[in-house]
Chains A and B, each alone.
Chain A
Amino acid sequence: MRHLNLPKERTFIGPALLWKRIAAFFIDMIIINLVVLFPFRSLFQNIIPKDYSFSEAYKLLSSSTDYTGFITSVSFVISVLIVLYFLMLEIKMSQTIGKMLMKVYVVDARVHLASSRSTSYNNTLKAWQLLARNLVFIPIFPFVLLWILDPLFMFFTKTNQRLTEILSKTKVVEKYSLEQ
């Protein structure tokens, strides 16, 4: 049986859809919470009684410098682990698990700006770029300001880039097929 010599699928790379990015982020957060931060969860369950409201838990944890020092150390370690999750996955594959499922990629905005007709991803991302785009997870001033500013930029920029993405010269893209 002979096959027709059909033309190759025509594709191009463009900014990822917003909902896909948000979904990828939530998937990543669920995975981090379930797997990476699992030991910390049991630690906090031991510290805070089950029937405590948020305000009661806050009052309890701020009751002594011992606890506040402990909480500060734990939050710092957690943020380092989260940054490591994104860094280790994105530097090797340009994707985290959430992005893999949503089929979106992190790319170097400078490369993809130069070749707007690009049809393939490349992971020429540098470690500093990935660190910079994940600064939002560091729970220290002034990075905490990014918790609000960073996602806001995504909604108000043409390229849907977060503030840290603009600073790190990266963007999240996906492959579009012209036949779709």
Chain B
Amino acid sequence: MRNQNFARVQENKIPESSFRWGYAIFVLFLLSILSFIAIGVISLFVGIDVESLSGNVALIPIQGVIVGSEDSEFLFESVTSSQDAVEFIEKADKNPSIKAIILEINSPGGSAVASEEIANAVRKTNKTTVAWIREAGASGAYWVASAADYIVANRVSITGSIGVIASYLEFPSLLERYNVTYQRLVSGKYKDIGSPYKEMTPEEKAIFQENLDSIRDYFVSEVAKNRNLNKKDVDKIANGLFYLGIQAKELGLVDELGSKDEVIAYIEGKEGIKADVVKYKKEETLLDVLSKVLSKQSFFAGKGIGSALLDKKIASTVSIST
């Protein structure tokens, strides 16, 4: 038994020096390769935009319809989710190297709640904020822009459009045509207000209108507060009409006409820095892309666009937008 142990120890003796160095170099080489592979895998599965950490001016795009979250009903339209926009604004605010934030706005507006969320985040930041309206900065997008310290708009851009719109589908006649009856069972007089299966009563319409007026009033007061304007003056132009950039400048809705150059010049002058603009954008990991493709495929294969419209909850058929 002892001899056997001795034999085993002899077999396992430390290898020769030349082999050891060769093996050590092999291990180092192998681990270096593994490091590169690991970085690749991490970048694929953990969405991080390394670029967004450099630079001293953050550029946050507000493109398309402003929505609360990306999984809203805008399938093919470009959207800006208030969740993402607020996250970017907060990230830029916490980043000590970022001295100013540019909101690159090209949006017709969208959800009143989502617009207010972004506007609040802009107002809360301690950094210099500049709204740069390109093609459109209307309605809710103008609400967001008004929260910035300075607004630069293109001469022929569309701005303003301060007002609130609500719409809903109503198809009781269609149901009637196909001999389908809407059986109304509610506990609470207005529980099915806005249901597409019945005609809206004048009383219900009045309730809606009252709410829209309240939202509009709040919108107007927020714009007036943000832009340090007289509320009555803003109220006069808050009729839903849009203004070209040049008209908006005359009215005092924007501070300057111009493009990115004017935005940069304003920031450099105010902060005394050489602007190094870095765009904040949502990084999509491989898993995000795959899940998006799969969810879209499933959507079309399973439900179809028509069923998506019909399956919606009754209470959610009325959409309020700014």
A and B associate = yes
Which 6 pairs of residues, A with B, have the shortest CB-CB distance?
A: A63-B94, A122-B9, A36-B31, A70-B48, A77-B38, A39-B35
Q: Which of B8, B38, B50, B87 has the most CB of A within 10 A?
A: B38
For residue B39, CB closer than 8 A to chain A, the reply is yes
Q: Which residue from chain B places its CB closest to the CB of A94 in the assembled complex?
A: B14
Using known A-B contacts A35-B28, A85-B27, determine if residue A105 contacts B14 with beta carbons closer than 8 Å. yes
Report the stretch among A45-53, A133-141, A143-151 that lies at the interface.
A45-53
Assess A123 versus B12: contact at CB under 8 Å? Given A38-B35, A47-B53. Answer: yes
> Would you call B31 and A122 a contact (CB within 8 A)?
no
The SS class assigned to the A binding surface is: helix
| Range for the number of chain A residues in contact with chain B | 35 or more
List residues of A whose CB falls within 8 A of some B CB: 31, 35-40, 43, 46-49, 52, 56, 59-60, 63-64, 66-67, 69-70, 73-74, 77, 81, 84-85, 88-89, 92-97, 100, 105, 111, 120-124
* Least CB distance, A119 to chain B, in whole angstroms: 11
Query: A residues within 8 A CB of B91?
Result: 63-64
Q: How many residues of B contact A (CB 8 A)?
A: 34
What chain B residues lie within 8 Å of A73 (beta carbons)? 42, 45-46
Q: Does B15 contact A (CB under 8 A)?
A: yes
- Chain B residues with Cβ below 8 Å from A70 are 42, 46, 48
- Give B contacts to A, CB under 8 Å: 8-9, 12-15, 20-21, 23-24, 27-28, 30-32, 34-36, 38-39, 42, 45-48, 50, 53-54, 87, 91, 94-97
Contacts of B96 on A, CB cut-off 8 Å? 56, 59-60
Least CB distance from A146 to B in Å reads 22
A39 and B97 alpha carbons, distance in the complex (Å): 24
- Most chain-A CB neighbours within 10 Å: which of B24, B45, B50, B54? B24
